Amino acid sequence: MTRRRVIAQGTFDLLHPGHLHYLEQAADLGEVFVIVARRENVTHKPKPVVPDRQRRDMVAALSLVDHAVLGHREDIFVPVEEIDPDVILLGHDQHHDPAAIAAALDERGIDCEVRRATGRAPRYEGELFSTRDIVDRIREERC
């Protein structure tokens, strides 16, 4: 029996526990394909600091991830069509509208479920869950 193909996608600028939680949920659903956003396509938040290929390589090195690719420069759905997923798992705090994504997938004839991952509460004081929090902490303690 083949495993379900699950897409997780994101910027993954500085890896943190929130990323691991998201990818753990994806792995629980099946074979994990991660699409790492290209710097030039990130418009909803500050551009990533870490280069595209380095972010892809860091994600690919995680045991939870079966495949990691960079997003397409012009059309975000190109890698989705190539992967042909059963599920697209959105991060709990990602800006994407699941209904809009489902409609775009339907228009392209891609039959897959769109789900949203859950968040995770901090497990200890000071745990950092975002690139912004990590950068802010570096600024506070090192600058």
Q: What's the token pair of residue 98?
A: 């699941």
Q: Is 118 annotated as a binding residue?
A: no
Q: Is 21 annotated as a binding residue?
A: no
Q: Is 96 annotated as a binding residue?
A: no
Q: What's the token pair of residue 100?
A: 């809009």
Query: What's the rounded Cα separation, in Å, for the pair 28 and 106?
Result: 25
Q: Is 122 annotated as a binding residue?
A: no
Query: What's the rounded Cα separation, in Å, for the pair 110 and 85?
Result: 8
Q: What's the CA angle centered on 105, arms 64 and 6, to 5 degrees?
A: 15
Q: Is 11 annotated as a binding residue?
A: yes
Residue stretches of the annotated binding site for ATP: 11-12, 16-19, 93
Residue stretches of the annotated binding site: 11-12, 16-19, 93
